[in-house]
A and B are shown apart, each in its own frame.
Chain A
Amino acid sequence: MEKDFIGIDEDILAERKRAKRREQGVALVILSPFVIIFVLFCVVPFIMGFAYSFMRYDPYNSDYTAFIGFKNYSNLFNTDINVSKQFWESFGPMLVFDLVAVPLLMIIPFILAYFINMRPPCYKFFRACIYLPCVVSISILGIMFGEMFAGDETGLINSWFGTNIDWLGGKPFENDILRWIIILIATIWWQTGANFVIFSGALRDIPKSLYEACEMDGGGRWQSVIRVTIPNMRPAINITLFNTLIGFLSLYGQPYVLNTLENQDIFVSPMMFIQSYLSNGLAYAKQTGYLCASAIIFGLIIMVISFVERRVMEERHPTAKHVAAYKRYCDFRTQRLEPAKGESK
């Protein structure tokens, strides 16, 4: 940069330098609130958590504190210890649930957004209905679905069908498939709105001309979805997929509120495991380091999964480029209104 100014008056140079320094100062002032909060509430606790995971640490007794190397981690990976077994077992139900729930929470909002985009009568009402559950808090969701699917005759669904099914009972991988279906329904009910809103915004902004071009190519509805809609919504899909995935890996609220006595103490997600031991009486305080280690391992697993997800989504970038080319080509053609020869399929 400075090279450009060679030969210019010294004063101007100094003036610019001062301006630069001033800008530096302004930037520092502007950034400082974010940085301070970020360091205090994220960075420091993170490093502390990392440190604790290598320590025998009891928040109420400093005499107990000692550096013990990888002991916490070796305990965590030793499945002979029942608690460690619980930790690893808690991944199972969560992962299976995510495998089903994440795709559904992409597809269902997409379908609904697609229909909303057709602007049927009272679409604004429908839109509000679909988004509404997002502002219902998880505990109220628990009250509603818990009572609807209550295990005895007092539940809405049981009394509608005259059954006596224990919807929310059972144990993971044994007989609690119904419970997970209910949790899935409740989750779809609760979380569809968030993705739906983003999708419908993205859908609305796809130029009509692209569809028309596709139609002229002889592409049906299905083809227009594949070739125009989805590629053009890629940014929106990327964001929602990432958010949904990360959110569901930390599954906690739904199983916490939808359970019965029989399975309320069984951890079905690592988040439940950590949360339940973290603040549950003095009896657990001696193993705070162990709990920090389990949080770090869980965090690492989330990191790996989200990294893989991003990698997979990135690899399709060439396709996105292709789509951009296709889009330009379509724009060009819709303007000229003449089919290009030899190029159309």
Chain B
Amino acid sequence: MNFVKGKRKLTKSEKHSRREKIVSFIVLAIASVFFLLPLIYMFGNSFKTDLDLQLHPGSLFPSPGEWTLKHYEGFLWRDGKIDNMPIWMLNSLWSSLATVGITLLLDLITAYAVIFLKFKGKKVFMNILYAWMAVPGVITLAPQLTLFNMFSSVIGVDGFAGNYIYIYLWLILPGCTGIYNMLLMRNFFLSIPNDIIDSAKSDGAGHFTIFRKIACPLAKSTMMLIVLFTFTGAWNNLVWPQLLMSGKDSYFQTVTVALTGFTGGNGYGAKGAAMATGVFALIPIFIIFFITQNKMIDGLASTGVKG
């Protein structure tokens, strides 16, 4: 290794680790190019003019001097009212966050009750949940849709706001019953030594205090894991929202559902606009991602994954 000449001679393991780092750097750099390329392509092409798209489909970025914001025009404000685009994004964002929040809360309290409280029928309860894990969601699709429609007429859902709340209730709540996450949480609580809880109890702490002061702070990494699973799941959910939202006011849609109009055999119309729509829809989620990713991934210690 020529480049270390003249310096302190490296030990065998240091050399080894340096070589390791170089190899891994190269591999990861190549992988990162693969993971970034489609995004860069979409970003660059969204600024191309229609003509440029036609003439230079092979370039990642617009030809010099040909940059245009044309495809982005009207995304926020169109014809005197808010365009659909920001609404879709807000819909996706708040519904995903709500799913994450409710899931976390439900999982925490349910797992807490299962582990730290004694009650009749606990075993039956757990057995049912274990058995239910094997039941795939697809079976319930059609009846859920029937129930969705039935309740809407029973309650008499009407008007824009009523419909909106009703749809999102049906979008968010079924997503919060993931048994898998609950069991993750339960397994984690199981690993908390009983002594801690007992000593807290003998100090006179109630369940609420134990839950708030001991269980939740300890469960942070498992919570991170559940946040990760649930958020990406909710954000990318296509099957159920597609059924719920088809035929409803286009203001109601989530980004994932709304943008399917630009893909595949449906892909009818302008390429530039499709790209710009994609880029625009990614902006908020990327901002959130870049703020939180470091903490989130770092917080994901393997203690969260105790199968």
Contact = CB atoms under 8 A, between A and B. Distances in A.
A259 interface: yes
Interface stretch (B17-25, B64-72, B77-85): B17-25
Contact of A189 (B29, B38, B300): B38
A121 to B, nearest CB: 6
Given A120-B21, A126-B28, A264 B138 contact: no
A194 B229 CA distance: 8
Interface in A132-157: 132-148, 153-156
Contacts of A144: 38-39, 41-42, 278
Interface in B205-263: 207, 225, 228-229, 232, 235-236, 238-239, 242-243, 246, 255-260, 262-263
B1 to A, nearest CB: 17
Given A38-B177, A46-B139, A139 B117 contact: no
A275 B242 contact: yes
B117 A20 contact: no
A279 B145 contact: yes
Interface stretch (B2-10, B118-126, B192-200): B118-126
A307 interface: yes
A130 B281 contact: no
Given A134-B232, A256-B238, A278-B145, A37 B307 contact: no
A125 interface: yes
Interface of B: 17, 20-25, 27-29, 31-32, 34-36, 38-39, 41-42, 45, 53-54, 57-58, 60, 92, 106, 109-110, 112-113, 117-120, 125, 132, 134-147, 149, 173-174, 176-177, 180, 182, 207, 225, 228-229, 232, 235-236, 238-239, 242-243, 246, 255-260, 262-267, 271, 274-275, 277-278, 281-282, 285-286, 289-290, 293-294, 297, 300-307
Contacts of B120: 24
A52 B142 contact: yes
B290 A128 contact: yes
Given A28-B119, A253-B238, A49 B255 contact: no
The interface size bin for chain A is 35 or more
B259 A140 contact: yes
Interface of A: 20, 23-24, 26-28, 30-31, 33-34, 37-38, 40-42, 44-46, 48-50, 52, 59, 111-112, 115-116, 118-148, 153-156, 158-160, 168, 189, 192, 194, 197-198, 200-205, 233-236, 238-239, 243, 246, 249-250, 252-253, 256-261, 264, 270-271, 274-275, 278-279, 288, 291-292, 295-296, 298-299, 302-303, 306-307
B239 A147 contact: no
Nearest to A192: B35
Given A201-B302, A295-B138, A133 B24 contact: no
Contacts of A307: 134
Determine which residue in A116, A243, A256 has the highest number of CB atoms from chain B within 10 A of its CB, and name it.
Answer: A256
A295 B135 contact: no
A257 B277 CA distance: 16
Given A126-B31, A235-B307, A274-B138, 20 more contacts: A23-B117, A37-B177, A42-B174, A48-B146, A112-B27, A120-B24, A122-B25, A130-B32, A133-B38, A136-B285, A137-B259, A139-B256, A142-B259, A144-B38, A144-B39, A146-B263, A239-B307, A250-B137, A253-B236, A279-B243
13 contacts: A30-B110, A38-B177, A112-B31, A120-B25, A125-B32, A126-B29, A139-B262, A140-B281, A144-B278, A146-B263, A198-B305, A270-B138, A302-B138
Contacts of B119: 23-24, 27-28, 31
A153 B36 CA distance: 23
Contact of A257 (B147, B264, B290): B264
Nearest to A232: B302
Nearest to A125: B32
Given A132-B289, A205-B302, A252-B239, A147 B134 contact: no
Contacts of B242: 275
Given A144-B42, A292-B142, A303-B135, A115 B35 contact: no
A296 to B, nearest CB: 5
Contact of B255 (A46, A137, A205, A302): A137
B93 to A, nearest CB: 11
B271 A46 contact: no
B85 to A, nearest CB: 13
Nearest to B259: A139
A236 B282 CA distance: 30
A118 B18 CA distance: 10
A225 B269 CA distance: 51
Contacts of A233: 302
A162 to B, nearest CB: 9
A33 to B, nearest CB: 6
Contact of A126 (B32, B54, B207, B278): B32
B281 to A, nearest CB: 6
A24 B121 CA distance: 10
B302 A275 contact: no
Given A120-B24, A140-B282, A278-B243, A130 B41 contact: no
A218 to B, nearest CB: 14
B41 A295 contact: no
A264 B286 CA distance: 31
A30 B109 contact: yes
B174 A198 contact: no
Contacts of B174: 37, 41-42
Contact of A252 (B20, B23, B53, B238): B238
Kindly name the residue among A129, A155, A274 whose own CB sees the greatest number of chain B CB atoms within 10 A. Answer: A129
B35 A189 contact: yes
